[in-house]
Structures are given as C-alpha cells and as structure tokens.
Amino acid sequence: MTSRDGYQWTPQAGLTQGVPSLGVISPPTNIKDTNEPWDVIVIGGGYCGLTATRDLTVAGFKTLLLEARDRIGGRSWSSNIDGYPYEMGGTWVHWHQAHVWREITRYKMSNALTPSFNFTHGVNHFQLRTSPNASVSTYMTHEAEDDLLRTALHKLTNVDGNNGRTILPFPHDVFHVPEFREYDNMSYADRISQIQDELSPNERATLEAFILLCSGGKLENSSFGEFLHWWAMSGYTYQGCMDCLISYKFRDGQSAFARQFWNEALGTGRLGYVFDCPVASVSDGDGDGSGSDVRVTARDGRVHAAKRVICTIPLNVLSGIRFSPPLSAIRASAAQAGHVNMCTKVHAEVDNQAMRSWTGITYPFNKLCYAIGDGTTPVGNTHLVCFGTDANHLQPEEDVRETLKAVGELAPGAFEVKMLVFHNWVKDEFAKGAWFFSRPGMVSDCLEGLRERHGGVVFANSDWALGWRSFIDGAIEEGTRAARMVVEELRPERGVRACL
C-alpha cells in the first residue's frame, strides 16, 4: 500500500508524492464507538508507541493507539520500491543496543540484518572534496579514511586523557556527573576551537562533516556533550562508533521490523486503533493521575478517554498540542526551543555499479555533505544514501534540479541518477526535524524535566531516553519504561499479571 508520506522522482515520471510501505495500516481504524472505555491511550505509532502498545496489550489491558499518519514507524520507516527497501528515516541497528536487540531476538530476526558496506569490488575508495572545483578531490583507501576519521574523533573526544571514559563512565547516568555539564554546554564550534591547532585540514573537514551528520544541525547549535554521550554509548572507540551508528540495517527495511510489534499487539484482541488522527489536546481532569479519565481530543473533534495516556509525541511537535493542566515550565521551554536536527536524507539510485564500494564527503560547499554507497538494487544499480544538514538548507522536493545537482556534486561525472527517494522531515508537521540532537545545555537543563510524570499522562519518547537517545533503541527503552509504569499502577485494580 502507498503512504501519503515520502517522495519519488524518476526522469520519466518526474516528482510524485507518496511511496509504498509495509507500515501502512488498512483499514485506518477498527473502532466504531468513541465512547468505548479504554484502560490506556497511546498517542503515536513510532517504535516507542508500538513498544508500549504491545507491552500493554500483552499484559491484558485494553489499549487505544492514536496515530496522525497513515502508517506505523514514526521517524523510522521504509519504502519498498521495485524490490528494494529505502530507509526513509532511522535505519541502522546493532547488537550492542540492548533494547533493540532484545526485540530482534524476540521476533527471530537476528538473521535479518545485512551490512551496509561492501568494499570487495568497484572503485573501493573514499573521496574528499572541500572545494566546489570539480577537479580538486582527495582519494584514499577506506583504511586511510578510517585512520583519518579515527584520529580526528579521538582528538575531539579525548577531553580527559581517557577518550571520555573518565567523564562518562556510566553513559546512562548524566544526572550525577557535574563534569558532563561543562561539555554539554559546549557547542561543536567551541570544542573544535579548542583542538583546531591539532587538526590537519583534511582531518577537520572530515570530522566536521561526520559530527554534523550526527547532529543534523550547525557547528554553533549542536551540543558537544551530546556527541560525547553517543561516543560513550559506542564504547569510546572509533570502531564501536561505526558499528553502532552506520553499519547494519534490516534486509527488508525498518517497516518489516515495526510490523512485528504491530502484529503481536493486534493478535491479543485488546488493541483498538485510529490512524489519520492528529491529536489537538490532552486533558487530565484531576491532574494528579488518581485514576479519573484522561481525555484526548483529535483535531476532527473526536474524544477518547482512558485511565492513563502515554504520549510519545516528539519534542519538536509537543508545543502544538494543548495540555490541561499545562506542561511544566521545563517541558514547555524545551518544546518551544526544540532540538536542532534538520537533516536532509536523500536516496539516489545511480547507474555506476562500481560506486557500491564508494564513500564521499563534499564539505562545506555542497548541500549534501556525506554519502555512502550502501546497496545494490535488483536491476544492478548502486544505491547511495546522502545526507545534508541544517547548515545546507536543502529542501529536496521544492527544487529537484537543485537536489540532483547536490547528488551530482558528490562525485562529478561518475554516474547518472536513475531515481531519487526521500522524506522531508523538516517539513513534516508530525516530526518538525529528524532524530533528536540537543542544543548546548539542553540535556543538562531539561532531561530530568522531560522525563517527569504529568498527572495521568506519561511522556515517553526516544528524544529523552537515558541510553541511545534519538535512536530506535532509545524509543524501545522509553516505550518499555512507560508501559511498565502504567501496568504497575493499573494492575492492582484489574488483577492483571504483567507479562513484561
């Protein structure tokens, strides 16, 4: 089935909106009576909401899932086009991410992963361009690429003479590490200024392109402390960073994984759902979580009530929902400021088969600064996944010629583009940005407040996870936490034994 989300471009058909996805749910609802009593309402069908919904229904609770889109997956979903999965948002997973791996093993999908890289044939090199002059490129082996970025990242993260281990020995606990606040308050630009004399020009260009790929923001508005947290979660090493962030994806796409959560929840017979249902307001009558109904009103006026609500709406969207009682000052302030990630992600199918073993950086002049040849389509073409940041301001559907130009700048004259596939997260009203990445000081100042209870409403989202914050693993972590909290509160009155 075809989702309203996403875009596809080919030379023959031009630009079309909407792409096929396994995540599309039909029919869009299975309930007829909005007055039907529910134990819990879950707002949002991304991995956080899917995890919470699955856990609640398995534990015996009647659960209503409300989703603004026509599909599940939230910011992690895939489109299968001509037999090839294009990851529109969150993509990579790893067995070092405990929550996501628990679910992979639960659904017997440990053999469903495929490596992103295959450097056994083709051009087999890394291409670095720091100038718009097409004749100026630096070529090196992937081993040399690794050495270049490894050296630069170790200079960036070695704030304590121990590659960050001393500052963040327990990366899930930043609340009790006073030293972390110093680095969280730093921007990327602040930290690079400290080490600029230690970096060669190629090291600096490669480092900046990579860390901006991680934040999707700008050097001036991205928290160095948040990247240090990513580094710590990856085991304080370059190889761990590469393994966890960008090396393994699902052979059949993220939507095939999300479907497993959905199917299990639906199979319990305790799941109600309404898609195409953006939420306008959430009202907790007593505001104390005492057990009175929490009411959720959709934009079309439909009202649903439950004993508890789990709200998984992303940070950048929260300020558009009316809450009664109002959000806490910390949560409201963080939602108003938002996170910084305005990443552009564009898939390009190109006719050069040898590019399957190519990686490239075009920074700082190009609107797409980082790209990887990470797949071969069924017709034998190469799939490139390309990224731009907030500093580049590429809106791919608004000017396809500009998008094609940016793709071509990655390796001028090396290929012809046969297809583009993308989702514009910046213009997406239910995301307003890509994965979470914090502003300087945001985690130190707001993380605890974002995780606080709000009467009968539990807020859960990867944006404020403790571990792999902003990752699929963080979404599952938060969905698990929220469901467990609600189950423990409602279990005594229902006599239900949780299966969590």
Q: Which residues contact 178 (CB under 8 A, 6 or more apart)?
A: none
Query: Annotated binding residue at 227?
Result: no
Is 486 one of the annotated binding-site residues? no
Q: Between the CA of residue 98 and those of 103, 246, 473, 475, what are the distances in Å?
A: 9, 16, 7, 12
- Confirm or deny that 100 is annotated as ligand binding: no
Indicate the DSSP class of residue 305: E
Residue type, 366: N
Q: Whose CA is closest to 204, among 141, 153, 239?
A: 153
Is the separation of the CB atoms in 340 and 438 below 8 Å? yes
Number of Cβ within a 10 Å radius of residue 218: 17
Is 493 annotated among the ligand-binding residues?
A: no
DSSP bridge partners of 84: 81
CB 369 within 8 A of CB 360: no
- Cα separation values, 66 from 164, 277, 490, Å: 41, 6, 20
Q: Write the CA distances from 389 to 222, 359, 430, integer angstroms.
A: 11, 17, 19
CA distance 465 to 462: 5
Q: Give the other-Cβ count within 10 Å of 123's Cβ.
A: 19
Residue 440 Cα to chain centre, angstroms: 19
Annotated binding site: 67-68, 279, 387
Annotated binding site for FAD: 67-68, 279
Annotated binding site for substrate: 387
